[in-house]
Amino acid sequence: SDNSLETESMCKSLNITHVKSSAHRHQSNADAENNNQQILKVARTITVAAGMPVSLWHKAIPFAALADNITKPKDQESPWFRRFGAEFAATKWPYGARVQFRPPGIRDAAIKVHKMLPNMVDGLFLGYRMHPGGTWSGDYLVCSYENMLEYIRGDKHELTTHHIPEILVPALVEFPLLEARKVLQTARTADALRDARRPFVDVAPPVDAQAVADAAGVPLDLVVLPETDEPPHVLFGGGSHVDGTP
């Protein structure tokens, strides 16, 4: 790191070796800062691309850091391979993408109702559970789609994250939250346009008194435009007739 005290304290509490940049050497400090900024850029990108809430930054940043380590550059070995001697063995799947998984205990609950009921639920992919030292534990981090909606609405203040050894991924990558946000934005845009047009749609166009006089074949001073929504009146011999009809 760039010798930050909070990072040093964290490393001590977790018994992790803290590699620091060289003091008073701007080049090494810039390398550390640039690496942090790169991870933040990736985290922001995957959060926006998946439509995930920004409050889950603590999920997006570790995902972005791991993705950088397991990505194989062109004609080069990945950082993960150079460290462990083998490529990352887990299923690679995007942050916030749709998955199916079986939460603990759901199988028994489903069987109590009927043996043919599905024992998997729709969820969102949050990443990988890692061991100290950077090795993969063999578990995926997921949450149910229903629980995520409750978290976004504020019905639940914490998101329930499951550690699952197996996940089922669809043939095509889907981002349910992104699609939901698009539908909501479309609905809000339609409502806004409808509200903007309402004053022009609900109010009748102004009446041209001269056009009424010409159509009735009378002088303009015999045409009376009422203040209400009633049609204009044309006066004949002191009487009042609608639309200029005698």
Task: Please state, in angstroms and rounded to a whole number, the distance separating the CA atoms of residues 175 and 96.
Answer: 6
How much is the CA Rg of the chain, to the nearest whole Å?
33
Average pLDDT of the chain? 78
93 neighbors 171 (Cβ within 8 angstroms): no
Q: How many CB atoms lie within 10 A of CB 46?
A: 20
pLDDT tens string 105-142: 665 555 555 566 667 889 999 999 999 888 999 999 99
pLDDT digits 0-9 by tens, 137-175: 999 999 999 899 888 888 888 899 999 999 999 999 999
Q: What is the mean pLDDT of residues 197-223?
A: 62
Contact by Cβ (8 Å): 120, 102:
yes
pLDDT of residue 54: 92
Q: Which of 56-65, 93-102, 122-131, 199-208 has the lowest mean pLDDT?
A: 199-208
Helices 145-153 and 176-202: crossing angle in degrees, nearest 10, is 50
In the predicted structure, residue 91 carries a pLDDT above the cut 50? yes
How far, in Å, CA of 11 to CA of 69, rounded?
20
